[in-house]
Amino acid sequence: MSERSRIIYVTEYYPPFGAGGAERTASLHARLLVRSGQPVTVVTPNYGATPRELVDGVDVIRFPFTRLSGQGRQVSPFRFFAPGYHRELAGQVLRAVGDRPVRCLHAQNTHSTIGTDLAAQHLSVPLVTHIRDTAGICGLGALCLMEPGIDAPPSRCGIRQHAVCHVTRYLPNYQRGAGMKGYGVGTAYTAAAYLDFLRRRRVYRRAARIAFASEGLRQVYRHVRDFQDESTHRVVHAPVIEDDQPGAVPNGLPPAVDAAKRSGAPLLLYVGKVSRGKGAEVLAAVQQRLRARLPAVRLVIAGHMDHARWGFDSETTVSLGFVDGPTLRGLYAACDVVVLPSIWPEPLGWATLEAGRHAKPIVAMRVGGIPEGVVDGETGILVDKLDVHGMCEALEALLRDPSRRHAMGQRARQFVLERFGEAAVQRELDALYEGL
């Protein structure tokens, strides 16, 4: 009996490496495919793990790259912009494939797109690309979409518009206080990102399928000229898998969180990197308002953060940095409300799924794919982008009403298990690869 054709996942990060939800989603999709009888091989850089291993039935091949110390760390994107990296990635894919039959190559992330396309052309097999962010809209990630009143990108973003956004949006926000050296690095980054972006856009135009992380994200891309052919579009959500259930925390909660919980302080949980796009400024402003109304509330932040930049109140903030999976499950179980203040078009937001899975209500911005994971008024509360007052009012209302929080949390759990459960997402995966 001949070997069944494999799907090759190509990604710049794969668990246990990476700091975002994209890596976790990719690994869960691979697990679902293997369960359905579809062989999957993952090709990814090695940051310090076993070069080859079988994980949940998925064949993971890691090629030599660089070592990362500490969980959640990532290398500079400059490493992925280099043309040499794309050629190396393509060569590693070809070596991993060998003479085995291949159904398709699936580029899981932005920086794996070009190298995967080179390998797909060499093998003459279909290419699937995955879009989980706004990096396919422009080389700067569509910073304009964070501004008030801007909900759709320009249909075409050329070099002149990139230069304008570089000066007016990127440098003021991302190189603040860095001096002339920081501005020079920022300018070099923008130039490299733009050239890489141009190559990726050509790849998207010839891809056999484009998988979007949510319908909301797909709707954002529909405004862009190169993505108006919807025949290649598919939506594949992150899955909530039944046997990936919340469990006990082996070492208990972090001491500061445990002390706050024992004191009876209401806990507000934010999970993710603290950045402008993730709504750091909104969250800090909300915290200041809440402190005046509910002084006992503690904001728990689980994610990397520049402490000097955002102005969070040190007395009522517990900043944990990146935390591992068991600790994160414990935080969700211990908190009272989850908050997701993203102002960029969040693909979906793992926090929406994890809040529901742990039977906790969420207060989030109405952007990107977030409304697909939250039933407004039933499983959580949605507010308009940048609406600090609305978010503060929603959080205060839930924190003052334990019975409403409990009822919302129970509905949230039922909703995410039905809408994003294994069977539902498996159907989306089947539709993505059908006919390839």
The DSSP element (H or E) to which 78 belongs, if any, is helix 78-81
Number of domains observed in the structure of the chain: 2
Give the C-alpha separation, 311 to 75, whole Å.
26
Residues 55 and 15 in one domain: yes
Arithmetic mean of pLDDT over the chain: 90
Does residue 250 lie in a domain region?
A: no
Range of 39's domain?
6-156+190-239+422-433
Which of 429, 345, 278 has the alpha carbon at shortest distance from 132?
Answer: 345
Average pLDDT for 3-24: 90
Q: Report pTM.
A: 0.91
Query: What pLDDT, in 10s, does the model give residues 115-158?
Result: 999 999 999 999 999 999 999 998 888 888 999 989 888 888 87
Does residue 163 lie in a domain region?
A: no
Which of 261, 271, 267 has the alpha carbon at shortest distance from 298?
Answer: 267
Residues 122 and 269 in one domain: no
Asked which of 99-103, 171-175, 183-187, 419-423 is least confident by mean pLDDT, the reply is: 183-187
Does residue 118 lie in a domain region?
A: yes
Query: How many CA atoms within 13 Å lie on the side-chain side of 167?
Result: 5
Residues 222 and 311 in one domain: no
Residues 201 and 107 in one domain: yes
Does residue 247 lie in a domain region?
A: no
Does residue 369 lie in a domain region?
A: yes
Whether the Cβ atoms of residue 13 and residue 38 lie closer than 8 Å to each other? no
Is pLDDT of 2 > 80? no
Residues 209 and 311 in one domain: no
- What pLDDT, on a 0 to 100 scale, did the predictor assign at position 250? 56
Give the C-alpha separation, 207 to 165, whole Å.
28
Is pLDDT of 183 > 60? no
Please, which pLDDT band fits residue 42 given cuts at 50, 70 and 90? very high
Query: What pLDDT, in 10s, does the model give residues 275-310?
Result: 889 999 999 999 999 999 999 999 999 988 876 678
Q: Token pair 């799924």 is at which residue?
A: 353
Residues 88 and 211 in one domain: yes
Does residue 56 lie in a domain region?
A: yes
Average pLDDT for 61-69: 91
Please, which pLDDT band fits residue 19 given cuts at 50, 70 and 90? confident
40-46 β-sheet, strand order? 52-55, 58-64, 40-46, 6-10, 102-107, 127-131, 209-212, 233-235
Query: What pLDDT, in 10s, does the model give residues 266-280?
Result: 999 999 989 889 999
Residues 317 and 329 in one domain: yes
- 206's CB contacts (< 8 A; 6+ apart) are 117, 127
**CATH number, position 149:** 3.40.50.2000
Is pLDDT of 406 > 80? yes
Residues 429 and 403 in one domain: no
| Most confident option among 8-12, 72-76, 348-352 | 8-12
